[in-house]
Structure 1
Amino acid sequence: MEYELSWLMVLLLVGTGIIAGFVNILAAGGSFLTIPTLMLFGIPADIANATNRVGVFLQAAEGIRGFRQRGMLEWHSFVAMMVPTLIGSLAGALLASYLDVAILEPVILTTLIAMAVLMVVKPSSFNPPQGSTPLSPWSSPSGFFGLLLSGIYGGFIQAGVGFVLIAALCGSLRYDLVRANALKMAATGVFTLVSLTVFILRGQILWIPGLLLALGSVVGAWLAVKFAVTVSQQVLRWFLLCVVVTVCITVWLQ
């Protein structure tokens, strides 16, 4: 398809990518910025949804590298997560390739509002007591289902999937927010690779806008990892709550 590549487009995509990369590492919802930005330039919603995955994947790769370098990513935990997230992501990507992404908007809004309420009413769901022993998804049905749902949702539309992953990892599997964010990025990288492969095979990726977003997203991810490992769990929880509320308002206004 045709689109006009101007300096304004370059700056806007890279700048939006930086913000989205930072937000996605610490919370989620960056795709609520990047997908509309792509659509500003006349890119259809389904192509924007597909193109957005380029930045998400490279941002996840940078997040994985950063957290692993600081000893915050537990690979044995990640391996246990792979089955439900991979199955879900393949199903979600196939749905996204053929269906209109707009059908998920009511589900997105309902999910985000529910999580915002849960964070206020029961903050321990996103910040388990210190010293809690993390669970394997194979010993936690709610954790397994949460990861499966995260994969389906992430494969379909990506936007806001980090909130679902954090709820499963902190609430059901009892990880603290820093390690949950590390595992969230690892899981995001896996199911984004699956969905990206589907979109590439179907010719739905616009590479130049996607790589410009990716450039900004990698910078944002690098900054966010440095921030995440130096602040308290309480600061991260309040940041997460603020992002959830902001995203809820954004989706509602749309």
Structure 2
Amino acid sequence: MEYLSDPWLVAALLVSGVIAGFVNTLAGGGGLLILPLLMLTGMGPALANGTMRVGVLLQGIEGVRQFHRHGSMTFAVLPGIMIPTLAGALVGTLAASFLPPEILKPVLLTTLIVMAVIMVVKPSTLMPGPDEAPRDLKNTPAAWAGLFLVGAYGGFAQAGVGFIMIAVLAGQLRYDLVRTNALKLAITTGFTILALAIFAWRGQVALLPGLVLAAGMVVGVRFGVGFAHRVSQRMLKWILLVMVVAVCAAAAIKG
């Protein structure tokens, strides 16, 4: 029971996992809640970063299954999307093994601030219209670069990567928010398999706390997928905006 000697921390991991799974499904930022909590169990930043990936992986698998059950998972486009993402994830994960994740905080914070401003001033830039068809990745080179950066950041720090994925999938490739969130979880699952293997190879994964966290995240993602299919696109946009602003504020206060 190393790292889980306090039953209150076990309960906190489960509850935070549920919350993180829910918000990660609809927007992102759950990792910013999980990482500090894992470090409270006595883990260093690198071990907490690797251990979190156990929950993220199982959350992603369950999320893909749930979105597919609701008919919102677009599997046909995944192979093309995964190529630049996994290439970036390999670079980011190897870097994360040796460098502190805090060095990418300014990148995340800047991205979130830009997203928040765009969503308020000109939301159509980031969010597609109701009749707008998704773009082909082959004809959208900026999206290739964006997906590589998604993979690099996700492999490096994970926390907050969902927001960057939304900017690429909805903003550049013009998927609606439900399909964006479905693809986001599928992409996360893909690069997390790679990241988790590298972190495990480096001895930076504590399996038992990761599984406790994963149990909560699986429950959270089930609630999140069901909620995403019951509310309107307008409501999802507001939820995303609120989460972006909340994470910006939390990051700014912490920094």
* Distance in 1 (alpha carbons) for counterparts of 2:217 and 2:104: 24
2 CA distance for matches of 1:178 and 1:193? Answer: 23
Q: Which residue type is aligned with residue 112 of structure 1?
A: L
Could you say which residue in structure 1 is the equivalent of 2:135?
135
The answer as to 2:101 corresponding to 1:97 is no
Amino acid at match of 1:206: A
TM-score by length of 2: 0.97
Q: How does 1:1-254 map to 2 (within 5 A)?
A: 3-254=3-254
Letter in 2 for 1:123: P
Give 1:127 shift.
2.2
Contact 1:126 1:237 in 2 (8 A): no
Unaligned runs of 5+ in 2: none
* Pairwise CA distance, 1:115: 1.1
The structural deviation recorded for 1:136 is: 2.2
What per-residue deviation string (whole Å, max 9, x for no partner) do you get for residues 22-45 of structure 1?
000000000000001111122111
Q: Runs of 4+ in structure 1 displaced over 6 angstroms?
A: none
Equivalent-residue separation in structure 2 for 1:232 and 1:137 (angstroms): 26
Residue-by-residue CA offset, 1:66-122 (whole Å, 9 max, x unaligned): 001111011111122011111011111101111111111222211111111111112
| 2:51–2:207 CA contact under 8 A, matched in 1 | yes
SS of the equivalent of 1:138 reads helix
Assess, with a 3 A threshold, how the Cα gap between structure 1 residues 70 and 4 changes in structure 2: closer, same or farther: closer
Distance 2:83 2:230 in 1: 32
| RMSD of aligned Cα (Å) | 1.2
The unaligned stretches of length 5 or more in structure 1 are: none
Q: SS where residue 83 of structure 2 aligns? A: helix
CA distance in 2, matches of 1:211, 1:109: 29
- Provide, for residues 50-78 of structure 1, a one-character-per-residue CA deviation record: whole Å limited to 9, x for no partner: 11111011101111000011110111111
Percent identical residues: 51
Distance in 2 separating the partners of 1:3 and 1:222: 27
CA distance in 1 between partners of 2:19 and 2:252 (Å): 21
Q: How many pairs are equivalent?
A: 254
Deviates more, 1:99-108 or 1:88-97: 99-108
Which amino acid letter does the alignment assign opposite residue 238 of structure 1?
W
Offset at residue 240 of structure 1 (A) = 0.3
Opposite residue 30 of structure 2, the aligned amino acid is G
